[in-house]
A and B are shown apart, each in its own frame.
Chain A
Amino acid sequence: MTDGHLDGNALAGPLSTVFTAEVTTAVAACAGCGRSGPLAAARVYGAPMGYVARCPGCDQVLLRYAEAPAGTTLDMRGIATLRLTTAD
């Protein structure tokens, strides 16, 4: 039995409610280990309670997102920098 995690691709819909740009192609630097990569390549856990994106290098939480009737919460403490590329 696998843990059934997803990729950062799955964040595209939820994060479109927060960001104007396509964020999954943005390069995120992990605040834990410093590794950089597109958010789309992060490992995503926690669905359907919410989305927990983890660094593929060190498994630290990059981002947490959950929708509740009273509002949406986004925690990005695990991302040191987020660089939106000009290609999109």
Chain B
Amino acid sequence: MLKDATAIVGIGQTAFAKHLPESEKALACRAILAALDDAGIDPSEVDGFASYTMEETDEVEVAKAIGAGDVTFFSKVGYGGGGSCATVGHLAAAVATGQASVGVAWRSRKRGSGPRPWKNTAAQLPTPGQWTRPFGLLRPADEIGMLARRYMHEYGATRDHLFNVALACRNRANQNPSAIMYERPLTREMYMTSRWISEPLCLFDNCLETDGALACVIVSAERARDCRQKPVYVHSAAQGLPAQHHGMVNYWNDDPLSGPAWTAARHLWKQADFGPEDVDVAQIYDAFTPLVPLSLEGYGFCGRGEGAAFTEGGALEIGGRLPLNTGGGGLSEAYVHGFNLINEGVKQLRGSSTAQVPDAATCLVTAGEGVPTSAILLRA
């Protein structure tokens, strides 16, 4: 059983900025060493690694640089931001089954100052790019905007609902000195008059382009009791690739509005001792605001078509029904393929968040919705 068999005992991060001078490799090493220091574990004890397939820094380089010993488990998860929580899930499984004893997951990224993949016209994949790219569906914002407009049409969701998501994330970032949007408040007027990126999505519906890196350390629950920090247990973990799914352009599914969240959620809750009503705080992947109402439905916080209405009345703010993305999320803290959501979940359950939910004991963290995804439930 995976349930509570392992715990996150260390977290680390670099600064977040539009531009950082160091390389992705250097940033990765800084985040990993910070996480190990946080845990009080010597780098030579690391014998497990997990990251994303989109991570440029591989485990060979990282292991050498930090002075790891013999490594007995390593894993990479595909589909961009869909892989974030799976890195923790893979390490938890490896540690729980004895394939490794100290696992490190990380993500280092220079998207603030580096190239944007959608600008590369030479390397477009033949499938499914041939069905969308020639028609000017060029960027993730265009692909998700298509689902967003349909969602708004079917369920009466409005731009005000999307604003609720952007505002909750921004308000939390305003409390977080590490966030790119610290001390930069958002108003409804700023949102409503901002430039379009892909109608119906405006500037503030899109995540930040960020340079930065994060890491976390996973050990057995037994060992966690002797670590420097209060353990945060990996209670449940799941990945989700639904039947007939097609990635970002999930348009050829029978039901494009029920995405990978639904598949991951079914397995996640089946393994857990508690349900959505017992979640104290959530870190929900927010590359784009519409992913949040879709995820709220997928993970069972409300019914189908009710995700937008769920955001009303301050539900996502501190003190609301489901405080969300309490570090500021991808929309306002940093967009590092969702890894900041994992570390923020850990901070909440340690009681050390800059926007602490009182007595938070359970946290859902999700990875990218709209691509093959993953999720974890953490508990104090």
Do A and B bind?
A: no
